[in-house]
Structure 1
């Protein structure tokens, strides 16, 4: 008996979207390659998964490093008894902060572009190289409403996320007919995770019940995209709290 597998890139805090994705996928009897930059955080997520009798392993990966991304896919694709090559790849890398355009440095701008379209390109390219020959698979990119509009103080973030969105669209049109499902999830609103709770606890309190996106609810949508029938694939979907204006 073989177990399907998945790669989730951009896993950080245990109370975060990356971790929620890993846990939900593992519950479907998948072996999950839990990828991110901090081994300590990855191992925390893996322990939580394996403690419940599911399967996962940590792979330290900088998504902006081509050698790291190649090593991750080599590991996931390696012939291993009982584990199939990945059928699901999720790119969940990103960060956000407001910076006045006049104060934005080139280093800051390039940093956002690397975690955005550069990393998405590397992961998307390797997913296409490895999965298209198999004639199946799903690649999902975590996006943001910034990919649709640029707000004051967020030019760097919007440029980054718009790049990821275009990569997802181009891949979907090129590889969808070959059996690879490529989707982009627009997350519109604050995510109720460790990052926001730590950096802006007052904002979390002000939003009230269901005023922020629940990480498990987002993860359920990602999974629903993965298991869609090929006659009705989603390329893009947007998620927001019921209180969020748009």
Structure 2
């Protein structure tokens, strides 16, 4: 079994890499800066691949590798957050937000679908494509229009792909992470008010493991104290 995480780093993507490795997956990690992946790759036995997910040529090159071509699970995790009043936002920075949050997801999902559809169908499906969403994909916040645009587009991509690809045996899941994620830089103040990245990974692995008679196209995870 092979898995590919695009936009790998610390936090949720690292937790999912560990969870997949424990389940027996060979993991491939892709990021613009592969140097930051050395410790995680050593821990999980993963291969590392340099890739700017918003660059069509680099995504095509990534999926020319045996690890990406064989991936049964593909996670698109890159994100780019731009904040500021609408009157002061730089257009090129807004463009980059949309490229990273949405256009890159299209590029990776397209390549992953091509690889998965080229395989003969098996019991349970051809593979799983995961898209990491955020609160901004279901509610736009002030001074955060570009991020909302990107994440709303990502959610629309996930829904459209689920309707197109589920009948062809590819499970597409948009993961709404509705709340802050705890980390060494952002410790939980207590009582699980921030999302535990390992808990997000467990919820995601459960979605990967769903029987095709009861596939979810979207899951939402939030701390128990987070308001809707």
TM-score by length of 2: 0.93
Give, in whole Å, the separation in 2 of the partners of 1:214 and 1:102.
36
1:243 and 2:221 aligned: no
Does the 8 Å CA contact 1:12/1:38 hold for their aligned counterparts? no
Q: Which residue of 2 aligns with 1:223?
A: 205
| Cα shift at 1:98 | 2.8
Q: Runs ≥4 in structure 1, deviation > 2 angstroms?
A: 76-79, 95-98
Q: Which residue of 2 aligns with 1:122?
A: 107
Q: Which residue of 2 aligns with 1:160?
A: 150
Cα 1:230/1:33, change in 2 over 3 Å: same
| Cα shift at 1:78 | 7.6
Q: 1:77-116 counterparts in 2 under 5 A?
A: 85-116=70-101
Give, in whole Å, the separation in 2 of the partners of 1:71 and 1:94.
21
Q: 1:38-77 counterparts in 2 under 5 A?
A: 38-49=33-44, 55-76=45-66
Cα 1:230/1:78, change in 2 over 3 Å: closer
| Cα shift at 1:72 | 1.5
Q: Which residue of 1 aligns with 2:31?
A: 36
Give, in whole Å, the separation in 2 of the partners of 1:78 and 1:48.
20
Q: 1:146-185 counterparts in 2 under 5 A?
A: 146-185=136-175
Give, in whole Å, the separation in 2 of the partners of 1:78 and 1:211.
36
Alignment root-mean-square deviation, CA? 1.6
| Cα shift at 1:234 | 0.5
Which is strand-richer, 1 or 2?
A: 1
| Cα shift at 1:175 | 0.9
Q: How many residues align?
A: 223
- Structure 1 stretches of 5 or more lacking a match? 50-54, 80-84
1:212 and 2:194 aligned: yes
